[in-house]
Structure 1
Amino acid sequence: MAMTTLHFEYKNRPTREIRPALSMVELNQQRYYASEQYLLPADAAETTRLNAQHRIIVKAFGNKLSLAPMNLKSGDRVLESAAGTGIWALEFFEKKRQEGVNIKIECIDISDKQFPGKYPSNIHFSLHSVTDLPAEWSSRFSYAHQRLLITAMNDSLWHKTISELFRVLEPGGWVELVEIEGKDRHFDVGPHSAKLQALVLKMYAAKGCIGDLAVYLPPLLEEAGFLDVRCEARDVTIGRSGECGYRSTEFRDLWQGMKSSVLKGSGFGLVETEQEFEELLQESMHEWDNSNKATSTFYTIVARKP
């Protein structure tokens, strides 16, 4: 599938306000956060970042939107948990439509700030947490897709999430979890990026985030009753060009979004002021620009409900 922007024109569909990307000055002002638990914001700047990151992930997995070995048919229902901007759902729906398969997608998130303004009538957006899905959704979906909740979950919440995803899948349905490595990181290519990496690890520990999800999630899925659990990893680079992964500026903006948590945690003993954190990000970015060794790892974990 070509990685192009999709344009939808549907009659009698409600149109939301399309929020422009924020300038760097606005980015450094107050950000909007949907919850205390989730470390990243849910605003226009994060929408831009997430859509760029979507391209990175899809490219890393061979331009595939899904690795689950399933055969969806027209009328099947798909759940996208933590839908964010909805870009995955829009592209997955269009891909299936081009294949002659007309599916229905339910997109959920705890915030509607990033939902798209226009979308096909077979896609529905709603406010729900994956830890507490509607009772009437039991055995409703043929496939559930969820991406990047590493900074939103602790051990208790992950157990609730996997249990709920198992419940709402129909027998034979597949779940697909896409996550980023949060423990064994490799973006420490100089003194500043090493300090940033240490800060991130301390922040994750303080929030109860599970870093090694490629190790943690497969046994949890099996414990919940899933079968055929498998995990695939892809490394992406971090550097000036972003040709095979993140541009240095994009990776900086990821951690920029967590500034609120850094300041609330008093810099976790590694930075003392907001300015010091900003300078740490800038210096880390320069180190990534001048190195070919900085990487990040994504995982795709799939499993089947018997």
Structure 2
Amino acid sequence: MNRSTIGGRTLLTGILAMVGMVMVFPIAWMLSASFKYESDVFKMPIEWIPKNFNPSNYATAVNDFPFVNWYANTALVTIYIVILVLTVSTISGYAFAKLEFKGRDVIFLIFIATMMIPVEVRIIPQFMIFKSMGLIDNVLSVALPWMFNAFSIFLMRQFFTSIPNDLIEAARIDGCNEYMTFCRIVLPLAKSQISALFILAFTWGWNEYFSALIYINDTYKQVLSVGIASFKGEYSGNFAVQMAGATLALIPIIVVYLFAQKRFIEGVAMSGVKG
């Protein structure tokens, strides 16, 4: 390895380290602020390790608000979204990649074009539909819009197009119908992509805010993102309590990502191999 290569890698490592520090900074500040008194939160220079340690912020967040209800509601919404996204996206992605039917490519392009439509444009008709179905103040109203997610279907379709058609044909010659081919041949090859999509869907569900704000009015049926935002009104901008609640809300996402990060990276990389 010559000096120019070593120098280039050193420079790249330094740049990535600085970018990583910038991204970790808000999380580190949040964690530090969650153990401070309100008067110390914005003290400069920043006290990363608080001199006046105040763990009562966590007790305030959990005991003075229906935090447990919000956690349970968020978990339920996330489970629904993960199931809907994985089921619909894998089946639709396979259909758009490997099944021949009239207008397939046109339908796919139209479907992908929906990614350009802002959520705010769809929110009123969706609200009217959910109201007529009696789903207002129901976590299903937050999860159902994710059922036909264009990005996740595109992600799975990109991977399925990389699977050789000869493999699919061989399975059909051996007597497999489309269902058996999909379940026994295609899905086992897509473990990394499904893991990546699982993490994305989990993150979408756990961080869902806008739909919950519109469709859920009952405080006890609310989700974490909207519930934590209500801390500010109740406590006149008590950022220490907000940071405590945000820290508790962040734990599941970190745990899921740490356990599945390898497959997540593999899945995202392999899904973009073939366009």
TM-score by length of 2: 0.24
TM-score by length of 1: 0.23
Q: Which has the larger radius of gyration?
A: 2
Bigger relative contact order (CA 8 A; separation at least 6):
2
| More helix by percentage | 2
